[in-house]
Amino acid sequence: MDASGDPYAVLGVPQTATADEVRLAFNAAAQRFHPASHPHPLAREEQSRIAAAYAILGDAGRRAAYDANTAPPTPVLRARLTPSRTWLPFLRETQVVYGLLEITAEPRFTDELPAPPVNLSLVIDRSTSMQGERLDQVKRAVMPLIDQLTDRDTFSVVAFSDRAEVVVPAQRNFDRALAKARISTLYAGGGTELLQGLISGLTELQRYVSPSAVNHLILLTDGRTYGDEADSLSLASLAALDGINIHGMGIGEEWNDSFLDDLAGRTGGATAYVNSAASVARYFREKMSGLTSSFAERLRLVVLADRGASAQFAFRSAPEPAPINLEAQPIRLGSLRRGNRVEVLVQFHVTPETTGLLWVGRLIVLADVLGLNRMDERLSADLAVTVRADAPSETPPAAIVEALSKLNLYRLQERAAAEAAAGHTQQATQTLERLASRLLASGKDALAKTALVEARRLARTQKMSALGQKTLKFGTRALFNPSDHLP
């Protein structure tokens, strides 16, 4: 039996717990997720797990039988949840608690596992604007990738403009020389109809889609698609249900970054911004090494706020920084690489009603651990604080401060872009200036300069440049990965 069915884990008691301790734990847990106070369907599911666990552990005979017949579960993943504060002053007003969730692999499992098979589809925009150097850069960057694929991997390439064509059909053991020759003869011409490309790419991927494989689609585009954005987004949501990850790669300045973020985000993927030959090549290199070192795929997160609390905001700070849509649960978090971590920051609002222990929320993680063939591996972590009239002041943990100080810069940038788009020029200019001074204070002189240039441009022309806006957006995101460089 896997950890998800372990009744001890569900009730949060050790195997040595007495009958009284089990009963108390059950009462507390059952109250937290009681359907009357918690209408969310996921809370009901949690409630039935708790009831099922108590049905076993609350009965001495069944508990003894369970203990005798069940080996203790061996967790393969770890979830650590750090709160920004452990004490809350007893004020009947809204207060903020942040939680930093880190998901890692149990170290003893990561060495012995073979690399998982990769099922990869590249969907390449070949519209007129890709002509010349841009398309050549992409072609050059794809060639080394083909050499890295093994015989167990499947690979396909789709090119699209007004319509889509399959350049390399999905297959194992494909003819590398032929694939390279086909890619090298790609030419640019036509419009950008992204939906066509996405449909063909997903169709190729579907032919070999497997729960034990890493199923990813990489979409490269340099332009805006018109009229088919909503359909593309719906298609991405469906692909996510099939366990497919979509990654966006935007080239140049014209592509729609919020659309691509939304598209990739629905599947747990991320968007990258590239504008040089070197960064295209690096992107593929890193993507490929990420795919072959995957430990768990299709990570899903459910955020259940307790009564009196609400989740306000969430952001994935690692491995690929990306905004999270809390409305679409489960939240898809993509892959966990070996020796790496997936990190999510969640901001809760709570209003204490009495002193004592205050539950803020439960974060539940589901993941497919490929090499061990453990699907829907489940982990959960709780966030709780103690409310006291004389709550001592405390210094927030360094990891939270670190993540929040970067998020702070990213959110200032988002704010400036939103204010500029809404025509609030003066406000946006001020926000950009504030961003610039914060960036300077953290030693990011080049980005600070970009923010100042855009502030002046905004004051003069009422608009930010697409290049400046993207540089700030992806530049502040890249601060989360110190090893990443700007394109």
Partner 1 sequence: VIRCPVCQHEEYDGTLFCSECGTQLWEGKAAPAEDGQDTQRFGADELVRAPEGYAEPARPEAAEATPAPQQLVVRVQGSAEPIYLIGRAEYRLGRGDPRQGVRPEVDLGPYRALELGVSRLHAALKCAGAVVTITDLGSTNGTLVNGVRLAPYTPQSLRDGDELRLGKLALRVYLKAG
Of residues 395 and 483, the one with the C-beta less far from partner 1: 395
Residue 434 lies near partner 1 (rule: CB under 8 A) = yes
Is 365:128 a contact under the CB 8 Å cutoff? no
Of residues 99 and 265, the one with the C-beta less far from partner 1: 99
Residue 307 lies near partner 1 (rule: CB under 8 A) = no
Say how far apart CA 306 and CA 383 lie, in whole Å. Answer: 9
Cβ neighbours for 33, distance < 8 A, ≥ 6 positions apart:
43, 44, 46, 47, 50, 304, 362
Q: Give the CA distances from residue 167 to residues 177, 178, 207, in Å, rounded to whole numbers and listed in that order.
A: 13, 10, 16
Say how far apart CA 375 and CA 377 lie, in whole Å. Answer: 5
Of residues 343-382, those binding partner 1 (CB under 8 A): 349
Query: Which range of residues in 104-112, 243-251, 431-439, 456-464 is near partner 1 by CB under 8 A?
Result: 431-439
Least spacing, CB of residue 81 vs partner 1, in Å: 16
Residue 112 lies near partner 1 (rule: CB under 8 A) = no
The helix-helix angle for 133-148 and 277-292 (nearest 10°) equals 30
Residue 172 lies near partner 1 (rule: CB under 8 A) = no
Cβ neighbours for 245, distance < 8 A, ≥ 6 positions apart:
214, 215, 216, 217, 267, 268, 269, 297, 298, 334, 335
Residue 97 lies near partner 1 (rule: CB under 8 A) = yes
**Residue whose tokens read 């090298």:** 184
Least spacing, CB of residue 434 vs partner 1, in Å: 5
Count the neighbouring beta carbons within 10 Å of the beta carbon of residue 48.
11
Cis preceding linkage at 321, omega within 30: no
Residue 415 lies near partner 1 (rule: CB under 8 A) = yes
Residue 85 lies near partner 1 (rule: CB under 8 A) = yes
Residue 452 lies near partner 1 (rule: CB under 8 A) = no
Instruction: Count interface residues toward partner 1 (CB under 8 A).
Output: 32
Say how far apart CA 100 and CA 61 lie, in whole Å. Answer: 40
Query: Which range of residues in 212-220, 297-305, 371-379, 434-442 is near partner 1 by CB under 8 A?
Result: 434-442
Of residues 64 and 96, the one with the C-beta less far from partner 1: 96
Residue 91 lies near partner 1 (rule: CB under 8 A) = yes
Write the interaction track for partner 1 spanning residues 385-414; mark x where CB under 8 A is met and - where it is not.
----------xx-x-xx--xx--xx-xx--
Query: Which range of residues in 30-38, 90-98, 177-185, 280-288 is near partner 1 by CB under 8 A?
Result: 90-98
Q: Which of 241, 443, 482, 483 binds partner 1 (CB under 8 A)?
A: 443
Q: What are phi and psi of 32, to 5 degrees?
A: -60, -40
Say how far apart CA 75 and CA 73 lie, in whole Å. Answer: 6
Nearest alpha carbon to residue 340 among 362, 371, 318, 325: 318
Residue 95 lies near partner 1 (rule: CB under 8 A) = yes
Residues that bind partner 1 (CB under 8 A): 84-85, 88-89, 91, 93-98, 349, 395-396, 398, 400-401, 404-405, 408-409, 411-412, 415, 434-435, 437-438, 440-443
